[in-house]
Amino acid sequence: LRNPWGKIEAYKGPWCKGASEWKQVAPKIEQVLQPNKIDDGQFFMSFEDYYTFFNSMDTVHVDIDGLANDKLTNDTDLSWNLIQIRGEWISGKNAGGCDNDPKTFWTNPQYTFDIASNKEKCALIVSLLQTDTAQKRIKSNGTPQGIYEALGFYIFSIRPGSMPDSNGIYDKSGLIEVYGTRTFLYQKEITKRCELSPRKYVIIPCCFVKDKSAKYLLRIYIEGIEKVSNQNNNSNNIKLTDPNPNPPVNPNKLSNTSKLDTKPSPHPIPQPSNRDEVYDSWYYNGMNQKDIEKLQIKAKQTTTSICLIM
């Protein structure tokens, strides 16, 4: 964690540099954490305090090197590459939905990439962004409902000896799932981090529900990457070429289990309600109506400034 004063004023609370709490820590652990070598503006806290005072956490990397799987790696040793792929799901063609329905899932677009590195694991950041939401926003009067599809993606390692067909598509028998979205989110962009061993992979972006037409931007940040390509089409202007999809399946008859995947089926998060209502329910929890009305009147008479640091 970082204290709000940054380098202006050093943190002097529990678990600061030279604090007595470190005497309770085993020497091996202290050697790993190196509390006397942390930068100004950083500090440690006990898990008990964290669990007591926090109920959620967002991880923010202030620079790209923070995404690496080894924080001790020298900056000059890091090799990053950003791959951007624009694509589109088209209903009835390549909008196969998630793997709840294996009959249509494999009609989704496929992209292959190689990770070449001497490291055992390499950090991978995947961002999937919907790019055609402007018109939907106008039609929905700016509310979240109806603007976004529930997005996700799956990553597969390619079995040795497996080859794509003439359209650049790998058969499911030649792929092994190494990462899959378990919770699909109704929002403009999803970003996930994982660590993969150096080898060849296939990534399949998808919506939770099949036959949802939408455009997207897929971005992949890979540490120590050597080669990434769209196996469907080698052109820089990516135009997906997919095999004919299987006949559509009645959504009411879809099974939540797949013979190919024994893990729990993914579940979408319900479309978000009005944020003001959510925040109000948290803020006013336990207060009587009279106190709530007083606060609302006071809030209308107060001007507040905020700063969002990106």
C-alpha distances out from residue 43 to 1, 21, 52, 83, Å: 6, 13, 17, 35
Q: Where in the chain is the domain with CATH 2.60.120.380?
A: 75-268
Cα–Cα distance for residue pair 182/192, rounded to 1 Å: 12
The backbone torsions φ and ψ at residue 27, rounded to the nearest 5 degrees and listed phi first, read -55, -35
Cα–Cα distance for residue pair 175/156, rounded to 1 Å: 6
How would residue 284 be classed by pLDDT, with cut points 50, 70 and 90? low
How would residue 292 be classed by pLDDT, with cut points 50, 70 and 90? low
Over residues 270-288, the mean pLDDT reads 48
Tally of residues, the chain: 310
| Planar angle of CA 187, 188, 193, nearest 5 degrees | 85
Over residues 179-203, the mean pLDDT reads 91
Over residues 208-221, the mean pLDDT reads 94
C-alpha distances out from residue 146 to 24, 91, 124, 136, 142, Å: 54, 17, 30, 7, 10
Cα–Cα distance for residue pair 221/124, rounded to 1 Å: 6
For the ranges 20-34, 99-113, 126-140, 157-171, the lowest mean pLDDT is seen at 126-140
Residue 61 pLDDT greater than 90, yes or no? no
Contact 276, 299 (CB under 8 A): no
What is the pLDDT of the chain when averaged over all its residues? 73
Per-residue model confidence (pLDDT) at position 32: 86
Q: Quick check: is 3 catalytic?
A: yes
Residue 231 pLDDT greater than 50, yes or no? no
Per-residue model confidence (pLDDT) at position 15: 87
Per-residue model confidence (pLDDT) at position 122: 86
What strand order describes the sheet that includes 214-223?
80-89, 214-223, 122-130, 189-196
The backbone torsions φ and ψ at residue 82, rounded to the nearest 5 degrees and listed phi first, read -105, 125
What is the share, in percent, of the chain residues with pLDDT greater than 70? 60
How would residue 210 be classed by pLDDT, with cut points 50, 70 and 90? very high
Per-residue model confidence (pLDDT) at position 75: 44
Architecture of the domain defined by 75-268: Sandwich (2.60)
Per-residue model confidence (pLDDT) at position 133: 81
The larger pLDDT score, comparing residue 310 to residue 260, is at: 310
| Planar angle of CA 305, 306, 310, nearest 5 degrees | 150
How would residue 63 be classed by pLDDT, with cut points 50, 70 and 90? low
Cα–Cα distance for residue pair 118/224, rounded to 1 Å: 9
Could you say which DSSP state residue 21 is in? Answer: G
What is the share, in percent, of the chain residues with pLDDT greater than 90? 30
Over residues 211-225, the mean pLDDT reads 87
Residue 98 pLDDT greater than 50, yes or no? yes
Contact 269, 185 (CB under 8 A): yes
How would residue 37 be classed by pLDDT, with cut points 50, 70 and 90? confident
C-alpha distances out from residue 219 to 27, 39, 85, Å: 42, 31, 6
Per-residue model confidence (pLDDT) at position 229: 45
Per-residue model confidence (pLDDT) at position 216: 96
Q: Which two tokens stand for residue 25?
A: 């820590």
Cα–Cα distance for residue pair 278/285, rounded to 1 Å: 11
In tens, the pLDDT along 133-176 reads 877 777 766 665 678 899 999 999 999 999 999 988 999 999 99
Residue 110: how many CB atoms within 10 A of its CB? 23
Phi-psi region of 99 (alpha: psi -120 to 50; beta: other; left: phi over 0): alpha
